[in-house]
Amino acid sequence: MEELPVSISILFGFTVLITVAWFYLLNKSWKVLAFVLAWTLLQSILGFSEVYQDTQAMPPRIMLFGIFPTLLFMAIVFLTARGRRFMDEINLKTLTYFHSIRIAVEVVLALLFHQGLVSVYMTFEGTNFDLFSGITAPIVAYLAYRSGKVNKKLLLWWNVVCLLLLMNVVITAVFAFPSPFQKLAFDQPNIAVLHFPFNLLPTVVVPLVLFGHLVAIRRLLRN
């Protein structure tokens, strides 16, 4: 990590900031923004303090302190009346454009792979097809909203496909991560996510993207 060009860290740092700012624009709730910023700050401290670098802990610390809590937060949002009101007020058109951030994420992953810090499976050179989601997001947003009537079927199927692509990346990441769960990429595992700022990928960026798909699918199925 000491030899990693600082430009890659800066690029990813900007990607995280843009992701959080864009997520705020979905609903423009200052309370939600404050919560996401506080969570991002906490994860930054944990990453910078090298808490996640113990690869033999069970369960892995990044799952225990970074990923599991985000899943709990999502469950609370979906199960509470206040959370459902928040989701119902999200702008679905802006939410669709929001997924364009995945283009920047894929660029960073490719750069990290060529630095030997993530597995090839995590890039578009391997089995990560999530770049499709980022590239098609603005196209789908335009097509779905170009007429007076929203094309809900297009939005629904696109969100389902992109959610499956995201889950493919997440599952692959777990198996290529240096932990007791590792099944792939023993020669070049995903060590970047153990370090700041890249630990913000599975603990901040991916949860926001996942939440976006779940919100959209819920809204479209209800309608």
CB-based contact 128:166 (threshold 8 Å): no
pLDDT, tens digit (0-9, with 9 covering 90-100), for 101-124: 999 999 999 999 999 999 999 999
CB-based contact 206:162 (threshold 8 Å): no
State the burial class of residue 81 (Cβ atoms within 10 Å of its Cβ: 0-12, 13-18, 19+): exposed
The pLDDT of residue 40 is above 90: yes
CB-based contact 222:33 (threshold 8 Å): no
Task: Give dist(CA 156, CA 217) in Å, integer.
Answer: 6
Angle, vertex CA 65, rays to CA 59 and CA 69, nearest 5? 105
The whole-model pTM stands at: 0.95
Angle, vertex CA 138, rays to CA 135 and CA 141, nearest 5? 135
With b for 16 or more beta-carbon neighbours within 10 A and e for fewer, the 137-167 pattern comes to beebbeebbeeeeeeeebbbebbeebbebbe
pLDDT, tens digit (0-9, with 9 covering 90-100), for 117-154: 999 999 999 899 999 999 999 999 999 999 878 999 99
DSSP state of 121: G
Q: Within its chain, how far is the Cα of 27 from the centroid? A: 18
pLDDT, tens digit (0-9, with 9 covering 90-100), for 169-212: 999 998 888 877 777 767 888 999 999 999 999 999 999 999 99
Q: Note the pLDDT of residue 185.
A: 66
